[in-house]
Chain A
Amino acid sequence: MTARPNPKLQATASRLEGLTLPESGAWLRHAREGALARVEAMGLPIRRDEYWRFTDPATLTAPEPTPAAPLSDGEGEPFAGVTPLRLVFVDGRFDAATSDALDLDGLRIERLAEAGALDLHWAQGLYGALETDGQSPVARPLAALNTAFATDGVLIHATAPVERPIHLIYRHEGETSDAMLHHVLKVDEGASLTLLESGPAAARFNSVLEADLAKGARVSHVRTQGRDHHRRTATHIFARVAEASDFRSFTLTFNGVLTRNEIVVRFTGDDAKAHVAGAAVGDGDFHHDDTVFVTHGGEACESRQVFKKVLRNGATGVFQGKILVKPGAQKTDGYQLSQALLLDERSQFLAKPELEIYADDVKCSHGSTAGAIDETALFYLRSRGVPAPEAMDLLTLSFLREALEEIADERLAEDLSARLEAWLARRR
Chain B
Amino acid sequence: MLDIRNLHVELEEDGKQILKGLDLSVGAGQVHAIMGPNGSGKSTLSYVLAGRDGYSVTEGSAHLGDVDLLALEPEERASAGLFLAFQYPVEIPGVGNMTFLRTALNAQRKARGEEEVSSADFLKLVRQKAQSLRIDAEMLKRPINVGFSGGEKKRNEILQMAVLEPRMCILDETDSGLDVDAMRLVSEGVNALRDAGRAFLVITHYQRLLDHITPDVVHIMANGRIIKTGGPELALEVERNGYADLLAEAQ
Contact = CB atoms under 8 A, between A and B. Distances in A.
A379 B94 contact: no
A386 B104 contact: yes
A394 B92 CA distance: 10
Interface stretch (A22-30, A131-139, A219-227, A397-405): A397-405
A402 B53 CA distance: 29
B51 A381 contact: no
B90 interface: yes
B79 interface: yes
Given A375-B53, A382-B51, A383-B50, A388 B75 contact: yes
A377 B78 CA distance: 16
Contact of B164 (A381, A384, A402): A384
A385 interface: yes
A381 B100 contact: yes
Contact of B90 (A377, A386, A388, A394): A377
A398 B50 contact: no
A387 B75 contact: yes
A376 interface: yes
Contacts of B90: 376-377, 380
Contacts of A380: 86, 89-90, 92, 144
A389 B102 CA distance: 16
A386 B103 contact: yes
Contacts of B74: 379, 382-383
A395 B93 CA distance: 9
B50 A394 contact: no
B151 to A, nearest CB: 18
Contacts of A394: 95, 99-100, 103
Nearest to B109: A385
Contacts of B101: 384
A263 B144 CA distance: 35
Contacts of B53: 375, 379
B147 to A, nearest CB: 15
A398 B143 CA distance: 9
A390 interface: yes
A210 to B, nearest CB: 35
A224 B154 CA distance: 41
Interface string B151-191: 00000000010001000000000000000000000000000
A395 B75 contact: no
A382 B86 CA distance: 13
Interface residues of B, number: 32
B195 interface: no
Interface string B85-124: 0100110111100011101110110010000000000000
Contacts of A386: 75, 100, 103-104, 107
Nearest to B108: A385
Contact of A384 (B52, B93, B100, B143): B100
Nearest to A387: B75
A395 B50 contact: no
Given A379-B52, A379-B53, A385 B94 contact: no
A235 to B, nearest CB: 28
Contacts of B51: 379, 382-383
Given A379-B74, A381-B100, A386-B100, A402 B94 contact: yes
Interface in B22-60: 50-53
A382 B78 CA distance: 8
Interface string B111-144: 1000000000000000000000000000000011
B68 interface: no
Contacts of A395: 92, 94-95
A399 B52 CA distance: 22
Interface string A354-383: 000000000000000000001111011111
A398 B92 CA distance: 8
Contacts of B160: 384
B73 interface: yes
B1 interface: no
A377 B84 contact: no
Nearest to B143: A398
Contacts of A383: 50-52, 74-75, 77-78, 84, 86
A275 B73 CA distance: 43
B107 A388 contact: no
B107 A385 contact: yes
A394 to B, nearest CB: 5
A376 B73 CA distance: 15
8 shortest interchain CB distances as A-B pairs: A398-B94, A385-B78, A385-B108, A384-B104, A382-B74, A380-B90, A401-B94, A382-B75
Interface of A: 374-377, 379-388, 390-391, 394-395, 397-399, 401-402
Interface of B: 50-53, 73-75, 77-79, 83-84, 86, 89-90, 92-95, 99-101, 103-105, 107-108, 111, 143-144, 160, 164
Given A381-B100, A385-B104, A386-B75, 10 more contacts: A379-B74, A380-B89, A383-B51, A383-B52, A383-B78, A384-B164, A385-B164, A388-B75, A398-B92, A401-B94
28 contacts: A375-B53, A376-B90, A379-B51, A379-B53, A379-B74, A383-B51, A383-B52, A383-B74, A383-B84, A384-B75, A384-B100, A384-B101, A384-B104, A384-B160, A385-B75, A385-B164, A386-B75, A386-B100, A386-B104, A387-B73, A387-B75, A388-B73, A388-B75, A391-B75, A394-B100, A397-B94, A398-B143, A399-B94
